Structure formats: structure tokens, C-alpha cells
Structure 1
């Protein structure tokens, strides 16, 4: 099957899937429990083959994106990039970003669930949904953030069991927006890593700036403190 046919099939499957909540994809969450986030208007749960998204129609970005990685999934990764970005038709047009929003914005379309993590052609195609994107500083996306994504894959590959990863944006009053649809630009990005076997969790916290460099992770408790989100309900990770 060619890349175009794979993309069309994946997109059609997304349209057909009536995902009203994460009950359709609990496998992406530790103990099958999604993060306990503050309920806001226009939040919608979206299930994909290899990740799950809580999407905000206010910011036109994810609230968070959840994945489950392990040695097997990483061994299956490495699919050819589709590079065909698309607006997820499951989201009302008024709640989603469009391709034109990113044009000439000065920001890249930054994957929250990385394309390089995807274990199948369909999952790869789905990862290019704009619901999985945030406006990201270009040099940060290809630099420090790419290193963090690569390090997370390497860790998951050597882990003894499942590793749950939750990635998302953090907005502040200073956050600007881009495009006709006013897609919000994150001030910070985070990536939480939780190893089920060791019961340890840590997070990468990065300013969404070109000059940002890779830095030491912060603790799970510190991430909860900074965001106000209990990302691992039902789990008490070791400090």
C-alpha cells in the first residue's frame, strides 16, 4: 500500500471513529487512568492507534498527549515519515488549527507524540494530525527537544516493561497566538516519563525558545506543582 493510500485510510478511520472519551484507549495511561486535569470548555478526548490526546478547542492544541512505549514498540518504530499534516475532522472546524495557521508564523508544527515513535505506517500518518501539534520554536524543535525525544526512546527500549509518556504545552498570560484560528503558542513544554517496573517518574521542562538547551529533568512532584495537574492518578511514583 502506498503512502497516499495509507494516509487516506488512516484519516478515514479517524473520521469514522466516534471517540467520546478515553474509554476507547485506556492502554495509553498508567493503571488506565488519564491525568486529572481541570475541566475546561471545548475539551475533547481523541484516541489514535499509538497515542491519545486531550484536545482544547480554546487553544487549538493538545492539553496533553499520552503514549505507552516499550522495547517492542520502539523496535517497530522507524517508519518512513509521511510529512502530510492534516486537520482532524473529528474536531469541529471552529475548535481546530488549520494548515494556514502555521504558514509564515515563524513557528514549526511541533509533534507532541513524536513521529519517530510510531510503530506502523497508519500510526505514522496519524501522528501528523494538527491535533498533535503545538507552535514550537524551530531551533528548539530540531535541537534540545529532539534530543529529549531521542533519549526517551532509548530509555523505553532498555526498560524492562512499559514506559508511559505524557507530553504537553503550558501557557501563560504572555502566550501569543498565531494564524486566523488563534492557535496558542506555549511558553513551556513538558515531557513526563513514568517507568512502571521501577515506579519512577521524572519530567523534562523546557522553555519554548530557540535558545533553550537540554537540561536536567525535574521531579514528578515538581511538575505537578508547576502545572497543577495530577498526571498519574492512582500511582505514587518513587521520588
Structure 2
């Protein structure tokens, strides 16, 4: 009798285990992938493990940007506009590291939810479902826009981290005058502050501010009117020079991506070199940036860093 019960119980366990193994592939994307309803798998890229609050959720997809089996940074992706609203990352740096070749990648799980959780390089032929779900290289051809990084390669130390920034889910259409001019100057400036004064982690959130009436390249990819960025370094040098007092623990900036835009957010320097005129960057406090984002994005409770990075 006992043997019969034991055999029956063993068969039930085997049956249950088999059923569970059959179900695992259906849950694989949720357990292993970076595409989910939140950033719970990559909270290390946010100050105090807290993503920005107040951004609208409808139409946006959190992505824990994964490459070579490791999370590299995080992006909030606008599905309809096929561009990130922002990317969040920690600055790391090593002198002498070179920019890797632009081997452009895409996010497989935006097209195929059960596909690889790692970003993948584009092949010679782009699958239709990939093109439908996100930007592709062809979108930028003859567009008069460069591929503008939100998480820039130069802010990353490890080679794989730098390579991971070359995914189109981290890219927005950016004018060359901005990308190679004042905005690049801002990226260099922030990196220098990190190296000289930040004693712990520097959390950066860089994003795009769309036009009030949306514009697109190739009738597909949303073009930002402005770029914006903010950082949080809560542990910094106790002997800051007077010129740096207003830059810690937080600071922010907004850059023009359209020389013909109005000057209510960022004024134009009329004496700037013609190549970069109209692509000015305005430095500002975190509170000022959050006020601009709240008004333009109509998000009255928006906050980039919990507790204002205090």
C-alpha cells in the first residue's frame, strides 16, 4: 500500500515538473529579459535605486539595456516616436579609451518578446517586425540628422559598455551643429567635473524634449527640439573651488537642436561661430530643468532624482 502511494506521488511530481518545464519558455521574457513594465532589473543606474517619477507611462517602454549578458544602462523608450525619452547611466572613465566603431544595434524584444534579452547588431536585412517596432539605420540616411547618443560612449570606461551605447534605442535625431558642437562640449565638461570632484557615483539622466507639434524623419522617428541632461553626485569633494559651488550635488542643462526655435528656453548667442550658431546650451539648476520638463511634458509631479539628490 505504501509503495503504491509512493509511486503515485512520484508520478504526480514528474507530471508537475514536466508541466512547469513546458511553461518556462512562456515566462522566459519576463524572467530574463530587459523588456518589462518597470526598471526593477537595472535599478543600479538610478540614484538610490529610484527611477524618475512623474513621467507618463502610456506609450513608453522601460528598457534595461543589456549587452553581452550584462545590464549596461537604462532607457525609457517612446514606442510611437521610435526614440528614447531618456537614458540613465553611471559615469565611469579611463584615460585613453577610444571610441569603438559604430556597430549599430537594435532591441530584439521590442519586435519579438521571447527573443534574446541582449541587444543585437543589425544584419544585412532588417526583419519587418524590427523595423515596425523601432528605428533602423535606414531612417537616418539622407535625413540631415546625426545619430545623437543620450548615453555617450565617452562617459563609459569598459569597452563593452561603450559598445552598448551604439544601439538605436539610445539614439535621437540630432543636428550636427549640436552633436559635434556645444552639446559635445557639455558632455566633456560633465566628465571633467566627475573626474575632479565626484567622490562616489555620478548618476546621469539625459533626454530629448519633443516639439509641441511632433516632427519626424522618414515619417517614423521623432525629432527633439531640445536635448536635456542632469546629474546627481551626492558624495563630492569637501574643498570645492568657489567656481564649482553651484555644480554640486546636482546640475543640469538644456541644448537647442533647432537653430530656428524660439529663445524662451535657451537664448541664442549671436556672436557664435556660424557652424554652431543656434545650437546653444543653457546651464541651469536641477529645479529649473524640472520646471521646464513639467511645463512642456505636462507632468506636474516630475522629479528626476529622489530627494533632489540630497
TM-score, normalisation: structure 1: 0.84
Q: Please say if 1:207 is aligned against 2:256.
A: yes
Q: Distance in 1 between matches of 2:166 and 2:182?
A: 21
SS in 2 for 1:152: helix
Which of residues 152, 161, 164 is equivalent to 1:123?
A: 161
1:53-90 per-position Cα deviation (integer Å, ceiling 9, x unaligned): 11111211111100112xxx212772441211122222
How far residue 173 of structure 1 moved from its aligned partner, in angstroms, is 2.3
Is the 1:175–1:187 contact (alpha carbons within 8 Å) kept by the matching residues of 2? no
Compare CA radii of gyration and give the structure with the larger one: 2
Which of residues 224, 228, 236 is equivalent to 2:308?
A: 236
SS in 1 for 2:292: helix
How far residue 95 of structure 1 moved from its aligned partner, in angstroms, is 2.6
How far residue 42 of structure 1 moved from its aligned partner, in angstroms, is 4.2
1:136-180 per-position Cα deviation (integer Å, ceiling 9, x unaligned): 011110000110111111111121111111000001223410125
User: Over aligned residues, Cα RMSD in angstroms?
Assistant: 2.1
Which sits farther off after the overlay, 199-208 or 110-119?
Answer: 199-208
Which sits farther off after the overlay, 155-164 or 131-140?
Answer: 155-164
Q: Distance in 2 between matches of 1:114 and 1:32?
A: 21
Is the 2:105–2:168 contact (alpha carbons within 8 Å) kept by the matching residues of 1? yes
Q: Distance in 2 between matches of 1:76 and 1:18?
A: 33
SS in 2 for 1:109: strand
Aligned residues: 218
Q: Which has the higher contact order (CA 8 A, sep 6+)?
A: 1
Which sits farther off after the overlay, 186-195 or 209-218?
Answer: 209-218
Is the 1:161–1:195 contact (alpha carbons within 8 Å) kept by the matching residues of 2? yes
Q: Distance in 1 between matches of 2:200 and 2:62?
A: 29
Unaligned runs of 5+ in 1: 1-15
Please give the residue correspondences for 1:1-239 in structure 2 after superposition, counting only pairs within 5 Å: 18-19=33-34, 20=36, 21-36=38-53, 37-48=55-66, 49-69=71-91, 73-75=92-94, 78-92=97-111, 93=130, 94-158=132-196, 159-179=198-218, 182-198=220-236, 200-209=249-258, 211-228=277-294, 229-233=302-306, 235-237=307-309
- Counterpart of 1:9 in structure 2 is none
Q: Distance in 2 between matches of 1:77 and 1:195?
A: 24
How far residue 230 of structure 1 moved from its aligned partner, in angstroms, is 1.1
How far residue 118 of structure 1 moved from its aligned partner, in angstroms, is 2.2
Q: Distance in 2 between matches of 1:76 and 1:38?
A: 38
